[in-house]
C-alpha cells in the first residue's frame, strides 16, 4: 500500500457486507480501503482450498461453528439458501429495508432450484415429509440457474461476494489481503483509523496503521463484536448470544443411486422455533463431513446417503470467555426443541427408506448472533457510540431474524453505503 494515500473509508473484512459496501462506495467515487484477514478465495472446491480458508471457531462444549477467512468471506462455502428479512420487525427498530431488499433482489441471481436439478435424495425427503403431512417447500436460492451444469450441483452457479469485491477493485478500491485489523484507532470519541497486522510481519514489529474518517467493521458475526468490545464498549455481548443449534442426521437407502446435489433447497417449519431442512450436501462436502467424523464406512456411500437437518431457535445465553473465546450452554427449553426436531427428522428419514440413521450430534445449524443490537450498541444507521465507526455484518442481525441472512445483509450494506455516501460528501 502507498503509505501516504488518503482514504475516505476503511472497510474491515471483505465478506458479503464488506464487499458490497466497498463496491457501492467506490462506485460513488469514495476512496475505499478494504483490509482482509484471509487470502484469495478458491475458484473451485478442493480439499486443499477448503482447508486453507475454513476456520472452525469453538462456541461451546464440543460445539463449534464454521466461518471462512478469505476474500469474499463465508459466501465461498455457503449453501445459497435465501430467506427474506422480517420487514415489520426491522421497521419496529427503525430500519426500513423494503427498497433495499427489492433492489438487491434485482441484482443478484435468485431462483427456486429447477426440478431437474433436485437430486434423488432431496426428492425422497420431500415425498416422505409430505406423506407425513409436512408443508415441505422449495426455498429460493442465490443461484444462477443458467450456470447449473448437467442438472447437478455446480459450485460456480452460487452467487458469491467475491464478484462484488472484484467490482469494488475495478472501481478503484484498494484491497489488502492477509491484513488483520487488530485495533480501531479512537481519538476524542471518534474513529480515525485502523491498526492492522500483515501476514509475515515479524514478532514484536509495530502494527501498520491507516487513517480515515470512517471505519466500517464487516469482519463477520464473531470477529466484529470482539473488535468493538476491545474499543471500549463493554455492552457488546452483555446478554449473551444465540447460535441456532441443530442436528444433521444421515441414513442409508440401499437402492438409491443419487448424484451431486444442492443442499438446503427445501424444508419446513415444524413448530414455532423448530425447522427441518434438506441436508443433502454436495458429494465433496459429504466426504469432508464423513472424514471429519471418522465415518470411513460411509465415505464412499454418497449415492446411497440421505440427510436431514434440524435447526432450533435457542434462547440468549453464554458470552465471551476470559481468554477471548465464546461459550454457550443450552437450557431445557432448547433441548426439548432439539429432541422434538430429531424425533420428527428420524420419522421422515425412515419413511424415505433410510436405514442405519446416524446423528452427528449438536452443531451450530445456522448463524451465531445477538452480540450487537440495533438501538443499543449501534443506532439505526449502524453507527457505534464512537462517531465514524459503523458495524455492518452478521453480528447486527436481530433475534427476530434467525433465517439465512445473505439477502438481508446485502440490503443493509446497500442502505449503509447510501448513508455513508452523504456523510463523506458533506
Query: In this structure, is the dihedral angle defined by the CA atoms of residues 137, 143, 145 and 147, taken in order, positive or negative?
Result: negative
x-or-dash pattern for ligand FAD, window 254-293, by CB under 6 A? Answer: ----------x-----------------------------
Phi, psi of 317 (to 5 degrees): 180, 175
Assess 305 for contact with ligand FAD (CB under 6 A).
no
Assess 249 for contact with ligand FAD (CB under 6 A).
no
Question: CB of residue 355 vs ligand FAD: minimum separation in angstroms?
Answer: 27
x-or-dash pattern for ligand FAD, window 151-190, by CB under 6 A? Answer: -----------------------------xx---------
∠ CA(268), CA(360), CA(155), 5° rounding?
A: 65
Q: Which of 14, 26, 244, 280 binds ligand FAD (CB under 6 A)?
A: 14
Phi, psi of 193 (to 5 degrees): 165, -170
x-or-dash pattern for ligand FAD, window 45-84, by CB under 6 A? Answer: ---------------------xx-xx--xxx-xxxxx---
Q: Which residues of 343-360 are buried (b: 16+ CB within 10 A; e: fewer)?
A: ebbbebbebbebeebbeb
Q: Which helix (H) or strand (E) holds 113?
A: none
Q: At 228, is the secondary structure helix, strand, or coil?
A: helix
Q: Based on CB atoms, which residue is closest to ligand FAD, 228 or 345? A: 228
Q: Which of 8, 24, 36, 100 binds ligand FAD (CB under 6 A)?
A: 36
Angle between helices 16-27 and 162-170 (to 10 degrees): 30
Q: Which three cell numbers stand for residue 327?
A: 461459550
Residue nearest to ligand FAD according to CB distances in the complex:
15
Three-state SS annotation for 320-368: ECCCCCEECCCCHHHHHHHHHHHHHHHHHHHHCCCEEEEECCCEECCCC
Question: CB of residue 13 vs ligand FAD: minimum separation in angstroms?
Answer: 3
Question: Quick one: how far is CA 396 from the chain centroid?
Answer: 12
Q: Based on CB atoms, which residue is closest to ligand FAD, 80 or 388? A: 80
Span of 44-52, 117-125, 273-281, 404-412 interacting with ligand FAD by CB under 6 A:
404-412
Contacts to ligand FAD by CB under 6 A: 12-18, 35-38, 66-67, 69-70, 73-75, 77-81, 180-181, 218-221, 223, 264, 367, 393-394, 404-406, 409
Amino acid at each position: 500500500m502507498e503509505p501516504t494515500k488518503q482514504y475516505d473509508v476503511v472497510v474491515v473484512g471483505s465478506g458479503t457486507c464488506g464487499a458490497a459496501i466497498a463496491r457501492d462506495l467506490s462506485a460513488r467515487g469514495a476512496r475505499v480501503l478494504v483490509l482482509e484477514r484471509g487470502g484469495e478465495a478458491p475458484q473451485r472446491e478442493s480439499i486443499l482450498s477448503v482447508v486453507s480458508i475454513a476456520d472452525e471457531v469453538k462456541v461451546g462444549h464440543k460445539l463449534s461453528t464454521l466461518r471462512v477467512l478469505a476474500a469474499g468471506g463465508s459466501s465461498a462455502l455457503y449453501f445459497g439458501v435465501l430467506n427474506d428479512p422480517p420487514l415489520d420487525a426491522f421497521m419496529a427498530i427503525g430500519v426500513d429495508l423494503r427498497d433495499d431488499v427489492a433492489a438487491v433482489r434485482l441484482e443478484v441471481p435468485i431462483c427456486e432450484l429447477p426440478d431437474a436439478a433436485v437430486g434423488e435424495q432431496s426428492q425422497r425427503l420431500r415425498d416422505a415429509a409430505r406423506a407425513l403431512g409436512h408443508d415441505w417447500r422449495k426455498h429460493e436460492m442465490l443461484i444462477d440457474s443458467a450456470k447449473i451444469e448437467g442438472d447437478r450441483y455446480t459450485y460456480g452457479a452460487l452467487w458469491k461476494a467475491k464478484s462484488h469485491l472484484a467490482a469494488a477493485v475495478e472501481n478503484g478500491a484498494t484491497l489488502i489481503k492477509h491484513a488483520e485489523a487488530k485495533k480501531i484507532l479512537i481519538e476524542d470519541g471518534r474513529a480515525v483509523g485502523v491498526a492492522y497486522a500483515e501476514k509475515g510481519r515479524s514478532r514484536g514489529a509495530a502494527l501498520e496503521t491507516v487513517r480515515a474518517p470512517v471505519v466500517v467493521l464487516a469482519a463477520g458475526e464473531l470477529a466484529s463484536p470482539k473488535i468493538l468490545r476491545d474499543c471500549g464498549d463493554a455492552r457488546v455481548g452483555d446478554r449473551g448470544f444465540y447460535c441456532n443449534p441443530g442436528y444433521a442426521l444421515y441414513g442409508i437407502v440401499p437402492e438409491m443411486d443419487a448424484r451431486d446435489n444442492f443442499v438446503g433447497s427445501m424444508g419446513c417449519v415444524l413448530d414455532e422455533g423448530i425447522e427441518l431442512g434438506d441436508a443433502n450436501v454436495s458429494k465433496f462436502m459429504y466426504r469432508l463431513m464423513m472424514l471429519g467424523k471418522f465415518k470411513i464406512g460411509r465415505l464412499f456411500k454418497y449415492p446411497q446417503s440421505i440427510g436431514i437437518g434440524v435447526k432450533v431457535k435457542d434462547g440468549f445465553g453464554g458470552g465471551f470467555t476470559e481468554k477471548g473465546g465464546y461459550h454457550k450452554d443450552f437450557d431445557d427449553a432448547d433441548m426439548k426443541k432439539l429432541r422434538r426436531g430429531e424425533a420428527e427428522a428420524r420419522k421422515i428419514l425412515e419413511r424415505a427408506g433410510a436405514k442405519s440413521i446416524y446423528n452427528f450430534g449438536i452443531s451450530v445449524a445456522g448463524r451465531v448472533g445477538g452480540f450487537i443490537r440495533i438501538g443499543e450498541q449501534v443506532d439505526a444507521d449502524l453507527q457505534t457510540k464512537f462517531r465514524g465507526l459503523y458495524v455492518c455484518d452478521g453480528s447486527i442481525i436481530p433475534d427476530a431474524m434467525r433465517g439465512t441472512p445473505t439477502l438481508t445483509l446485502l440490503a443493509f450494506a446497500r442502505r449503509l453505503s447510501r448513508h455513508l455516501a452523504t456523510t463523506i460528501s458533506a
